Amino acid sequence: MKEKQESSGFIPREYDVFTGMDVDKKSIAITFINHEGERRSLKIPYNTEQLIRYINKHYSGQRVAFAYEAGPTGFSLYDEITEKGYFCLVASPSSIPTAPGNRVKTNRLDSKKIAENLRGGQLKGIHIPDQSYRDLRQLTQMRDTYVKQLVATKLRIKSLLLYAGIPFPETSSNSQWTSSVIKELQDLKCSGGTRIKLDQLILSLKFFTQNIVDLTKAIRKFCDSDDEIKQNIEYIKSIPGIGYITASQLLARIGDWRKLERADQLGSFLGLVPREKSTGDDINKGSITKTGNGRLRSKLIQCAWSNIRRDSELKDFYDRMYVRHYGKFASKKAIVAVARKLTMRVYAVLTQQRKYEISYRKDSVSLLH
């Protein structure tokens, strides 16, 4: 029997055979297990047609569920399996239970572990984005890569000048890398080796800068070509402090807004919720979990700083959090709390499919009809 359903609705008793897969670029290690504990393992080339033929031959008429761990192979295997009408769960690596002290790791054992946890209903599947959101994610990730390399190149230039005893051109803090500054760097008098290295770094600086400009344009063009993505970016941008780049990256990571289930889901997804280890009446909370995309989390915190200058309600919230955590890290803790509030507003504008609007009634801000 073949069927397809969302991972959130997976019920183990509705299936007969559970298939755990450990996938690499050339092969798939597979373990089949049923409710009676009967197990069969094999290894096949990375070929979905061969996998389906094996299922049809050995498990014909049985309800088969598949699972594998999210990784560098992406979602093509998921696409091919679900296109055949089977259920497939892509599990977050952090959600796969591991026995303490287990120091033996092989592809076969990993596939066995996935199959057993799938049968036990212990795996938590990730949301699989549609192709348009996958493409947007690729573009935003590449832009972030170039930004990271650009920042590293700037630091290398400053380190080189410091090592050579050459002062960096005098500039204001917000105009350190203008075209005039770069021209000064090109005209600096220095030794042969330093000159060659500095010229190469300046070429890299220009290369990464141009790539960022080109990718930013490509992201805008791509988003404008998809009505749903374009509209949802406008909804997110309507929240004070969030600009186009952060909005597009948020949407790329969230994917289909229809799969959002709770208002606190985004905060957890971005690692903005505190760690907690509580027992009985003792509640112990620590620093934030920092799960998910770190660069996106940093962008959202930067947006929070911008937001409190424009949104009186969140500014009041920031002040309350600051007083509550008064001390060395009060501002950091308060702004992270504001960033977590922003994720709830992102959830609201997406699930309600409307813009965020400022209500001028006594400095309050709210979503209006």
**In the prediction, which pLDDT does 1 show?**
39
Segment 278-295, tens digit of pLDDT: 666 666 666 788 888 889
Give the residue among 205, 201, 222 at the shortest CA–CA distance from 146.
205
**In the prediction, which pLDDT does 82 show?**
95
**In the prediction, which pLDDT does 366 show?**
42
**In the prediction, which pLDDT does 290 show?**
83
Rounded mean pLDDT, 70-81 = 93
- 277 has a pLDDT exceeding 70: no
Q: For 7-119, CATH number?
A: 3.30.420.40
Segment 28-65, tens digit of pLDDT: 999 999 999 999 999 999 999 999 999 999 999 999 99
**In the prediction, which pLDDT does 2 show?**
40
Task: Report the phi/psi class of residue 364: left, alpha or beta, with left for phi > 0 and alpha for psi in -120 to 50.
Answer: beta
Radius of gyration of the chain measured on its C-alpha atoms: 25
Segment 153-192, tens digit of pLDDT: 999 999 999 999 999 998 877 778 999 999 999 999 988 8
Task: With H, G, I as helix, E, B as strand and everything else as coil, classify residue 250.
Answer: helix
With 0-12 / 13-18 / 19 or more C-beta atoms within 10 angstroms meaning exposed / middle / buried, residue 182 is middle
**In the prediction, which pLDDT does 61 show?**
92
Q: How far apart are the C-alpha atoms of 103 and 366, rounded to whole Å?
A: 52
Segment 190-244, tens digit of pLDDT: 888 999 999 999 999 999 999 999 999 999 999 999 999 999 999 999 999 999 9
Task: With H, G, I as helix, E, B as strand and everything else as coil, classify residue 258.
Answer: helix
- 326 has a pLDDT exceeding 50: yes
Give the residue among 52, 30, 44 at the shortest CA–CA distance from 113.
30
258 Cβ contact partners less than 8 Å away, ≥ 6 residues apart? none
Q: Which residues pair with 64 in a beta bridge?
A: 17
- 363 has a pLDDT exceeding 60: no
**In the prediction, which pLDDT does 279 show?**
60
Segment 247-260, tens digit of pLDDT: 999 999 999 999 88
Using the 8-state DSSP alphabet, how is residue 168 labeled?
Answer: P
Q: Which residues pair with 43 in a beta bridge?
A: 29
Rounded mean pLDDT, 347-354 = 95
CA 52, chain centre distance (Å): 31
Name the pTM for this structure.
Answer: 0.84
**In the prediction, which pLDDT does 276 show?**
67
**In the prediction, which pLDDT does 284 show?**
65
Residue 5 banded pLDDT, cuts 50, 70, 90: very low
Rounded mean pLDDT, 259-263 = 88
Segment 83-118, tens digit of pLDDT: 999 999 999 887 888 877 777 789 999 999 999 999
- 4 has a pLDDT exceeding 70: no
